[in-house]
Amino acid sequence: MADYDAVIVGSGVNSLACGALLARAGWRVCVLERNDWLGGAIKTEELTEPGFLHDVFSAWHPLWVGGAAHAQLGDDLAARGLEYVNTELPTGTAFPDGGAAFLLRTAEGNAAELGPEWPGVLERFFPHADLAFGVLGTELWSPAGLALAAKALRRLGREGAAVFAGEVLQTSRDWLETTFASERAHGVLAPWVLHTGLGPDQATSGFMTQVIAVAIQEGGMPVPRGGGAKLAEALVRLIRDHGGVCETGRDVERVLVRSGRAVGVRLADGETVSAERAVVASVTPTQLYERLLADADVPAPVREGARRFRYGRAEMQIHYALSEPPRWEGDERLGRTAIVHVTPGLDGVSRAVNEAERGLLPAEATIVCGQPLTIDPSRAPEGKGILWIQLQELPWRLKGDAAGEIDTGSGAWTDELRERYADRIQARLARHIPNLESSIRKRVALGPHDLERANINLRHGDPYGGALSLDQNFLWRPFPRSPGHATPVERLWHIGASTWPGPGLGAGSGTLVAQKLLEPPLPQRALAKARALVGR
């Protein structure tokens, strides 16, 4: 008898959601994590000073709260202490001229902020929202994917389905400029494509802009009270309460393959753990095919496809502990908003993305300024402040500085380069927050090299599991030679940000694979269908 029914490599949100769904269904589950914490890119700690709880990597949970995993597990997790808090001011943009605009929780409020075109956006989106969100929640290379396409064809007709598909491929720039007259509206919505790993001039970014805008209006910007790690802790409790095992410090070196079938894993220390039904790997294609399957018989085109898999732009983060809350210039709502983007607008985002993709430090990066205390005051001592800064427009290999101010040396990230770039960002932010620099108790910056060192899946500092260019997205994610979650090795499944539906905390890939594993065998499904037909 094998040690477990399923062995899961890595403990990110996809792994934990998959493990929780399987364990709750009676499977014997083992989650193995190489780091000393469970949660992958979910980590909360006193990074700066005691009493200041920082979400070190990911921080905001709208995709989780709106996703299928939460729908199935939410009550069980709440019973294990997970509590979500939310806000009526989820996001806004601070512009260089001191102006601001916001995306709010009501259609009326957003019409006032974004322009009279907003109600029309909702009127066009909501009748087919099930198709839009269905694309993001379906295994596309599967009967379910075919069923979704057939549903769209029946509802929209051939011409309408073609129009819908074309709109999915539209860029954010094209959608924004043909939809909204206000450049302020462009500046509020355009930065959100960065959170999907895209830029505003890339295919599908227009579709993602619409989906995110509607999702934020309807769902806000929820976070767990006490820090993002509360989600990971509740999932781990659920797995353990159903007899599962979650262990840290367990570096998986190989997937064990026998007669073309995954039968377990071998750890770096030589220990083996066997699996009766499945091995589930939440890793990048690089890790899966170059390390975990290094000795396995994998078709040469698949191995070559994995070798050619491309990673996207790098990320940097800056975490601040402040002696007082930040005081923003201009609109007083900025100080009460969960996420403020600091950018000149659509063209500013586009320019910074272009500079990063050409190997340059952007002259005027889009600053994602997260303010967790606007939702959850428990994360810092009373009267203090926390800022969570994310910079998503950076190259991994540097060719220079678009502003001509910073010497990028050999082109590799160093601690000194990280701090110099953090100084540039801080100086820009201080123009919007006059008390920023006088209130800093401690600043901790994490460069792309720090992120890669902290989490093996953040390869080249890319937080989104690989470039989301069209040939590595949707039907073709992670790459055309191996789309979907099945692999050339029987009973080995691939999940995580590198697989569809891509990055974020929605746990989409882990949920899809858990559903597949829990699906009754084909003969049993056929019998159930026959009985249903007879019953009619």
Domain of residue 72, CATH code: 3.50.50.60
Q: Pick from 196, 165, 137: which is nearest to 468 by CA? A: 196
Is the peptide bond prior to 50 cis by the omega test (within 30 degrees of 0)?
no
Q: Mark residue 149 as left, alpha or beta (left: phi above 0; alpha: psi -120 to 50; beta: remaining).
A: alpha
Within this chain, do residues 285 and 191 fall inside the same structural domain, yes or no? no
Whether 534 is covered by a domain: the verdict is no
Within this chain, do residues 97 and 50 fall inside the same structural domain, yes or no? no
Within this chain, do residues 337 and 379 fall inside the same structural domain, yes or no? yes
Domain tally, the chain: 3
Cβ-Cβ contacts under 8 Å for 110 (sequence gap 6 or more): 103, 104, 118, 217
Taking the C-alpha atoms of residue 196 and residue 217, their distance in angstroms, rounded to an integer, is 17
Measure CA of the first residue to CA of the last residue in the chain; give whole Å: 42
Within this chain, do residues 486 and 424 fall inside the same structural domain, yes or no? no
Confirm if 52 and 209 have CB atoms less than 8 A apart. Answer: no
pLDDT in tens, 277-313: 999 999 999 999 999 999 999 999 999 999 999 999 9
Taking the C-alpha atoms of residue 445 and residue 320, their distance in angstroms, rounded to an integer, is 9
Taking the C-alpha atoms of residue 427 and residue 446, their distance in angstroms, rounded to an integer, is 17
Within this chain, do residues 323 and 395 fall inside the same structural domain, yes or no? yes
**162-166: long-range contacts (C-beta < 8 A, 24 or more apart)?**
164/128, 164/131
Helix axes 129-136, 205-219, angle to 10 degrees: 110
Residues of the chain with pLDDT under 50: none
Give the CB-side neighbour count of residue 116, counting CA atoms within 13 A.
Answer: 0
Confirm if 382 and 423 have CB atoms less than 8 A apart. Answer: no
Q: Which residue has the tokens 């690089």?
A: 286
CA–CA distances in Å: residue 216 to residues 92, 164, 471: 11, 22, 28
Taking the C-alpha atoms of residue 109 and residue 129, their distance in angstroms, rounded to an integer, is 21
Whether 367 is covered by a domain: the verdict is yes
Provide the residue type at 530 as one letter: A
Whether 86 is covered by a domain: the verdict is no
Whether 532 is covered by a domain: the verdict is no
Q: Mark residue 359 as left, alpha or beta (left: phi above 0; alpha: psi -120 to 50; beta: remaining).
A: left
Within this chain, do residues 325 and 442 fall inside the same structural domain, yes or no? yes
Q: What sign results for the dihedral spanned by CA atoms 235, 241, 242, 247?
A: positive
Whether 457 is covered by a domain: the verdict is no
Within this chain, do residues 330 and 272 fall inside the same structural domain, yes or no? no
**Of 152, 186, 219, the domain-final residue:** 219
3-state DSSP assignment of residue 16: helix
pLDDT of the residue at 524: 61
Taking the C-alpha atoms of residue 492 and residue 298, their distance in angstroms, rounded to an integer, is 12
Q: Pick from 365, 383, 476, 370: which is nearest to 422 by CA? A: 365
Buried b (16+ CB within 10 A) or exposed e, 357-379: eebbbbebbbbbbbbbbbbbeeb
Whether 536 is covered by a domain: the verdict is no
pLDDT of the residue at 534: 62
Within this chain, do residues 269 and 321 fall inside the same structural domain, yes or no? no
Tell me which H or E stretch contains 322: strand 314-322
Q: Which residues constitute the domain of residue 57?
A: 4-80+226-309+466-523
Confirm if 64 and 16 have CB atoms less than 8 A apart. Answer: no
CA–CA distances in Å: residue 438 to residues 274, 294, 321, 430, 434: 56, 53, 12, 10, 8
DSSP string, 193-215: GGGGT--TTSTTHHHHHHHHHHH
Whether 535 is covered by a domain: the verdict is no
At 264, list the tokens.
């377990």
Within this chain, do residues 95 and 211 fall inside the same structural domain, yes or no? yes
Cβ-Cβ contacts under 8 Å for 32 (sequence gap 6 or more): 7, 8, 9, 10, 11, 247, 250, 252, 265, 267, 273
Tell me which H or E stretch contains 30: strand 29-32
For the chain, the C-alpha Rg in angstroms (whole number) is 23
**Of 416, 447, 478, the domain-final residue:** 447
At 501, list the tokens.
């539906």
Q: Count each helix (H run) and each strand (E run) in the chain, helices first.
A: 19, 20
Within this chain, do residues 385 and 501 fall inside the same structural domain, yes or no? no
Whether 17 is covered by a domain: the verdict is yes
Q: How many CB atoms lie within 10 A of CB 438?
A: 10
**Of 167, 188, 219, the domain-final residue:** 219
Strands 84-85, 44-45: pairing kind: unpaired
Within this chain, do residues 300 and 317 fall inside the same structural domain, yes or no? no
Angle at 198 between CA 493 and CA 205, to 5 degrees: 105
pLDDT of the residue at 533: 60
Within this chain, do residues 416 and 504 fall inside the same structural domain, yes or no? no
